[in-house]
């Protein structure tokens, strides 16, 4: 039986910062029922990951995918990623600077969406079967997209979720705001019922961060 979702954490060449570890530990504490998977370069030394998260799985790929977020976007548009996660219905991808506020991953997985993302694509929920099918059927279009200057893969999938006959089922912008919002749009003391599932864009443990970790 397939798992409902896997939490996928890319580890770039520079490794995880102290803030990254703090955010990740908070996420794992909130989403205890889901498997944690690190994706990293073939040559990355993962002793610290195994020490901090002994139950996690590590998948390795070409180091070229892990120099920065734009490089990782290429892996997010490749069938090798989704094919390897056939044991999970969905991938919940967190690329750092994202704080899990509520235990709502199960809820979002059950809403029938193929793709839910923040505005920058730094955190997203993706249906494995749908993405695997799309990347296999759209190799030429993806190659053309990757050949031009770009910033991540989000704009490509956003177009696929628009139009009269969208290839991806995605929520409206209003609904997406309940999935994630940037920290700059949220003030300390905001009522819990007005907070999204994920808040993105944390670059330091500021007042908002500390208030939410205690929440």
Annotate the chain with three-state secondary structure: CCEEEEEEEECCCCCCCHHHHHHHHHHHHHCCCCEEEEEEECCCCCHHHHHHCCCCEEEEECHHHHCCHHHHHHHHCCHHHHHHCCCEEEEEEECCCEEECCCCHHHHHCCCCCEEECCCCCEEEEEHHHHHHHHHHCHHHHHHHHHCCCCCCHHHHHHHCCCCCCCCCCCCHHHHHHHEEEHHHCCCCCCHHHCCCEEECCCCCCHHHHHHHCC
Place of tokens 């090798």: 80
What pLDDT score was predicted for residue 215? 59
What pLDDT score was predicted for residue 163? 80
At 17-41, the pLDDT tens digits run 888 888 999 899 999 999 999 999 9
What pLDDT score was predicted for residue 165? 83
Place of tokens 């209003």: 174
What pLDDT score was predicted for residue 134? 96
What pLDDT score was predicted for residue 6? 98
What pLDDT score was predicted for residue 27? 92
Q: How far from 130 is each of 52, 81, 83, 112, 121, CA to CA, in Å?
A: 32, 13, 11, 11, 17
End-to-end CA, the chain: 34
Neighbours of 93 (CB within 10 A): 23
What pLDDT score was predicted for residue 24? 92
Domain of 92, in residue numbers: 3-213
Number of structural domains, the chain? 1
What pLDDT score was predicted for residue 214? 65
Residues of the chain with pLDDT under 70: 151, 214-215
CATH code of residue 187: 3.90.550.10
Cα 11 to Cα 96: distance, rounded to the nearest angstrom: 9
Cα 72 to Cα 56: distance, rounded to the nearest angstrom: 20
Task: Enter the pTM of the model.
Answer: 0.93
């Amino acid at each position: 039986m397939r798992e409902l979702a896997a939490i996928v954490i890319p580890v770039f060449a520079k490794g995880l910062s102290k803030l990254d570890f703090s955010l990740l530990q908070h996420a794992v504490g909130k989403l205890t029922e889901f498997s944690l998977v690190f994706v990293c370069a073939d040559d990355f030394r993962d002793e610290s990951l195994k020490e901090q998260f002994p139950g996690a799985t590590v998948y390795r790929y070409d180091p070229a995918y892990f120099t920065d977020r734009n490089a990782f976007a290429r892996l997010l548009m490749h069938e090798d990623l989704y094919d390897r996660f056939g044991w999970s219905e969905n991938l919940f991808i967190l690329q750092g600077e994202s704080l899990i506020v509520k235990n709502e991953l199960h809820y979002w997985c059950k809403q029938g969406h193929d793709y839910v993302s923040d505005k920058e694509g730094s955190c997203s929920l993706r249906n494995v079967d749908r993405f695997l099918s799309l990347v296999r059927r759209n190799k030429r279009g993806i190659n053309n997209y990757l050949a031009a200057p770009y910033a991540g893969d989000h704009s490509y999938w956003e177009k696929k979720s628009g139009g009269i006959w969208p290839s991806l089922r995605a929520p409206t912008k209003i609904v997406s705001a309940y999935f994630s919002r940037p920290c700059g749009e949220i003030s300390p003391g905001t009522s819990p019922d007005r907070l999204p599932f994920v808040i993105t864009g944390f670059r330091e443990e500021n007042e908002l961060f500390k208030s939410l970790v205690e929440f």
